[in-house]
Amino acid sequence: MPHVTFIEHNGTAHTVEAVIGKSLMEAAVDNSVPGIDADCGGACACATCHVFVAPEWEAKTGTRNEAEVAMLNFAAEVKPNSRLSCQIEITAAHDGLVVHMPDGQH
């Protein structure tokens, strides 16, 4: 199973096992990674699973979809590499993926 790393705003790293076919958000929630709230449970309707994808991984995580752009529009700290982790489906190619988290999820 691919391993992915979530890095909190304060620098604490959490490396967890992700399940192929599930979302990156679920990898965080299922492993109790703090800082991914996922209030809507993966419906792309709340922007509380916001992450920053490390630049070298952007090619493998794809680009934001339309609903994601609309929700990220209101996040507190949006960057060009902002994604909603519920919209990234884990594949074998994601082994080693690193994402950073914002200061808070809104």
Q: What three-state secondary structure class fits 80? A: coil
CB closer to another protein, 19 vs 59:
19
Which is closer to another protein, CB of 87 or CB of 97? 87
Instruction: Select from 15-23, 55-63, 88-96, 98-106 the region that touches another protein (CB under 8 A).
Output: 98-106
Scanning residues 18 to 77, which ones bind another protein (CB under 8 A)? 29, 37-41, 43-48, 67, 70-71, 73-74, 76-77
Q: Please state, in angstroms and rounded to a whole number, the distance separating the CA atoms of residues 103 and 106.
A: 10
Q: Is 1 in the site for another protein (CB under 8 A)?
A: no
Pairing state of beta strands 50-53 and 97-100? antiparallel
The site for another protein, by CB under 8 A, has a size of 23
DSSP designation for 14: E
Strands 3-7 and 97-100 come out as: parallel
Which token pair is 27? 């990898």
Sheet holding 3-7, edge to edge: 13-17, 3-7, 97-100, 50-53, 82-84
In the bound state with another protein, the residue whose beta carbon lies nearer, of 59 and 70, is 70
The residues binding another protein (CB under 8 A) are: 29, 37-41, 43-48, 67, 70-71, 73-74, 76-77, 102-104, 106
